[in-house]
Amino acid sequence: MNRILIAFALLSAVAGCGYRLESGTAQFTDPSVRMDVSPFANRSSMPDAGAVVAGNLREELRRSGFRGSFGNLGANFLIEGTVREIRSTLVSQAPNRFSLENLLTLVVDIRVIEVVRGGVLWKETGLTETASYYSGTDAQYTEANRRAAFEEISRRMAVRLSQTLRVLL
């Protein structure tokens, strides 16, 4: 009986403090909301990194419940990003000095602007995601694995950004 009363008191306290387990507002699911998610600026050595990250973000926003539309005309929110860096770090190497495993790191800056109020809603610099990939003496094998690692970290970054946007909107 005491356990039930303690659990009830705890649940009442949590419910009374204003926490909830849903999106911040209904704007995320409002079909009239328009977002401009342009290809991110790219300061990395990978030619299409900015476009891939922005494309993955648009897909993830749809997957996580965004019902509005994308485009720059009449946008309520502008999402601007920069792929600041993509770097490979040696993790392990063979006795013949060839690398066996590398760590690929994606570094992104993002800014979300609310057009109606004209202010920055969210800004973050230096967001990172990492994934390892195998390499070898065959350049095609190494590059295919590096590309797969990039796709993985760009998808993870998109999930992370989308989750934050879901809470903000």
pLDDT digits (tens, 9 = 90+) for 54-90: 999 999 999 999 999 998 888 999 999 999 999 999 9
- Which pTM does this prediction carry? 0.81
Q: Where are the domains of the chain?
A: 24-168
Tell me what pLDDT residue 22 has.
Answer: 44
**Structure tokens, 39:** 């290809």
pLDDT at 35: 94
Q: What is the pLDDT of residue 9?
A: 53
Quickly name the fold that domain 24-168 has: Double Stranded RNA Binding Domain (3.30.160)
Residue-level pLDDT at 168: 87
pLDDT on residue 12: 55
CA-CA distance, 142 to 163, in Å (whole number)?
32
Mean per-residue pLDDT, 119-141: 95
Rounded mean pLDDT, 87-114: 93
| Integer CA distances (angstroms), 36 to 55, 75, 113, 114, 115, in order | 12, 6, 10, 11, 10
pLDDT of residue 79: 96
Per-residue pLDDT band for 8 (boundaries 50, 70, 90) equals low
pLDDT of residue 23 exceeding 90: no
CA distance 15 to 8: 10
